[in-house]
Amino acid sequence: MGDLVNPSESTYDVVVVGAGIVGAACAYFLVKEGLRVAVLERGIAGGGATAAAMGHLVVMDDSPAQLALTKLSLQLWKELEEQLPSSAEYRQTGTLWIASDDEEMAEVRRKYELYRSVGLACGVLDSTALGEAEPKLRRPLAGALRVLGDGVIYPQAAAQFLLRGVAERGALFTDCNVVSIQGSTVLLGDRTRVSAGHIVNAAGCAAPELTPGIVMRKRKGHLILTDRYPGFLRHQVVELGYLKSAHSVAGDSVAFNLQPRATGQILIGSSRQYDNEDAAVDQDIVRRIMERACEYIPEVATLSVLRMWTGFRAATPDKLPLIGPSPENPKVLLATGHEGLGITTSTATGRLITDTILQQKSPIPQEPYLPSRMSSEAVHSDSFVV
């Protein structure tokens, strides 16, 4: 951060509001292209939803646009692998999408065909092969899709790594509250103003406070972290029913989703709740998560739990993030609304935001993610899709 104490003391090409993983990735790609960047964060870097996340880097295919964004993101994470510090705990564990019956096996085959058609390395495991891949899983299960390029990362350390370069061509200011964005100027809580060619609103769930009119809902999630059990699990394992849970728009949902951390700890998820902004841990949800985990891996019941916490995902009506110019103010670029995929898709978001500012072609079309899609369709908070 150098010797600057106030961001108004210097000039910047871009001001990024928010030092979560999304703001950090935007800053990373902007700095890499030689732009001067100030990142303004009202708390600590990576301390928002980023600190609450599981860190599963995963390809998803709810829509062609989601598949394109997650696939590009995984490629970009892979390209960063050599530079990531060991503290970021990046590992290509692969994902096992578990099918418990014939209906879910049909979904395994559909995903397999689709993923293969776009060049993703994957394979179908039958019941026996699944048991060999993850011996702790209950038997019999119908099978699974193994997606080899998926991985895991420690989100807060990854965000801090992405912000490192900012010190060379700009600055990171923490404890720096942005109260409003006016044109291409941000107003800070201490009444100073910082101007730049572009402002990136990467304030996560708080983005609508700075850009009124963004339609987003907070989606609460719980996670549970165990003591160290090296070798307990090899892959990120997720029930295919997770997709039903992720798609649900009404009520609370819980799905089996387990991650082996590099430390040997097991991260147990996951839950989704709308209309609950209380950050407290809900013991009933925790019980349901543990019961679901034990249905798939009975030995989970014997693991010692160290910690549990909650966080909030920023959900848009069509389950795609908002990446690109604000319809009301093209000097402001939105980079928010990543719901449960923001750790994964931060890299592609940073790439797309940088390409927009530099007016250069992106590796994938930007249209599906443009915020203007919301205003043109008169989207309201009751139009969240299933």
Ligand X SMILES: Cc1cc2nc3c(=O)[nH]c(=O)nc-3n(C[C@H](O)[C@H](O)[C@H](O)COP(=O)(O)OP(=O)(O)OC[C@H]3O[C@@H](n4cnc5c(N)ncnc54)[C@H](O)[C@@H]3O)c2cc1C
Write the interaction track for ligand X spanning residues 120-159; mark x where CB under 6 A is met and - where it is not: ----------------------------------------
Residue-wise over 174-186: b if at least 16 C-beta within 10 A, else e?
A: eebebeebeebeb
Would you count residue 80 as binding ligand X (CB under 6 A)? no
Number of residues that bind ligand X (CB under 6 A): 39
When the beta carbons of 143 and 261 are compared against ligand X, the nearer one is 261
Would you count residue 6 as binding ligand X (CB under 6 A)? no
The Cα–Cα gap between 193 and 154 comes to 34
When the beta carbons of 39 and 137 are compared against ligand X, the nearer one is 39
Would you count residue 50 as binding ligand X (CB under 6 A)? yes
By CB atoms closer than 10 A (0-12, 13-18, 19+), residue 86 is: exposed
Among the residue ranges 105-113, 114-122, 238-246, 338-346, the one whose residues contact ligand X (CB under 6 A): 338-346
Task: Spell out the alpha helix ranges (H) of the chain.
Answer: 21-32, 49-52, 64-80, 102-117, 127-133, 155-163, 207-210, 241-247, 283-296, 342-357, 372-376
| Token representation of residue 286 | 């925790």
First to last CA, the chain: 44
When the beta carbons of 325 and 342 are compared against ligand X, the nearer one is 342
Helix axes 155-163, 21-32, angle to 10 degrees: 30
When the beta carbons of 100 and 349 are compared against ligand X, the nearer one is 349
Write the interaction track for ligand X spanning residues 55-74; mark x where CB under 6 A is met and - where it is not: xx------------------
Contact yes or no for 247/274 (Cβ under 8 A) = no
Would you count residue 27 as binding ligand X (CB under 6 A)? no
Would you count residue 340 as binding ligand X (CB under 6 A)? yes
Would you count residue 224 as binding ligand X (CB under 6 A)? no
| Token representation of residue 271 | 């839950």
Contacts (CB under 6 A) with ligand X, residues 178-217: 178, 202-204, 206, 210
The Cα–Cα gap between 289 and 294 comes to 9
By CB atoms closer than 10 A (0-12, 13-18, 19+), residue 305 is: middle
| Token representation of residue 82 | 């050599």
Write the interaction track for ligand X spanning residues 295-334; mark x where CB under 6 A is met and - where it is not: ----------------xxx---------------------
Length of the chain: 386
Give the nearest distance from C-beta 24 to ligand X in angstroms. Answer: 7
The residue ranges that bind ligand X (CB under 6 A) are 17-23, 40-43, 47-50, 52-56, 177-178, 202-204, 206, 210, 221, 223, 311-313, 336, 338, 340-344
